Amino acid sequence: GESVGLHLPTLSVQEGDNSIINCAYSNSASDYFIWYKQESGKGPQFIIDIRSNMDKRQGQRVTVLLNKTVKHLSLQIAATQPGDSAVYFCALMTGGGADGLTFGKGTHLIIQP
Amino acid sequence: EAQVTQNPRYLITVTGKKLTVTCSQNMNHEYMSWYRQDPGLGLRQIYYSMNVEVTDKGDVPEGYKVSRKEKRNFPLILESPSPNQTSLYFCASSLWGEDQPQHFGDGTRLSIL
């Protein structure tokens, strides 16, 4: 079956620095990838997505990179702010998504002042 | 405001006492899903529904039931709750089709004593 793993459960960065959160997946048939942000006491919030026919997508202060060769996904957050402190999950979908999303276990991003 | 609403947000109950967690979305989404979130295990799908009267098991369906009589509602039913169902539960919805991100409610924390 599918598995999704994150390289680090916790990432601590200085305010203003860039953050990079990584995710590895096992199923090469996965074709849609999403990053979610979960703040304390709330549900996962959609940040950005990318389809398997792309290798990079940019949003506001965020960039997602997809390397299908090594089955690796990353989320880059530019100029990290205190409000970025949260748990970040990668999630993937395979074959249209009837089975829903498979989630990684999350990386807790901690912002140091 | 587009949202997924879960009720209750918190519930403490006892083993064997039937309970229902309601989920409602106002975005006219076809697809709805329930997940549970446990420390070290991440988010795991319980049940999903692709449309009215169409439901299917996710990865961890044992001990749960669902129904989808209306498009906007997708209740999660625990007929005889047990302590191993103590968890944080999330309902999510999306448009049906490829590459549609799921939108999550703010969660229901269940404690089964």
DSSP letters of chain A? ---EEES-SEEEEETTS-EEEEEEE--TTEEEEEEEEE-TTS--EEEEEEETT-SEEE-SSEEEEEETTTTEEEEEESS--GGG-EEEEEEEEETTSTT--EE---EEEEEE-
CA distance A37 to chain B (A): 11
pLDDT for the residue numbered A1: 42
A8 pLDDT exceeds 90? no
Among A11-20, A49-58, B4-13, B38-47, whose mean pLDDT is lowest? B38-47
- Report chain A's mean pLDDT, rounded to a whole number: 89
B85 pLDDT exceeds 50? yes
A2 pLDDT exceeds 80? no
Q: Are A23 and A72 in contact (CB under 8 A)?
A: yes
Contact: B101, A103; criterion CB under 8 Å: no
A36 pLDDT exceeds 60? yes
Instruction: Extract the tokens encoding A68.
Output: 């299908």
Residue the block writes with tokens 């090469």: A28
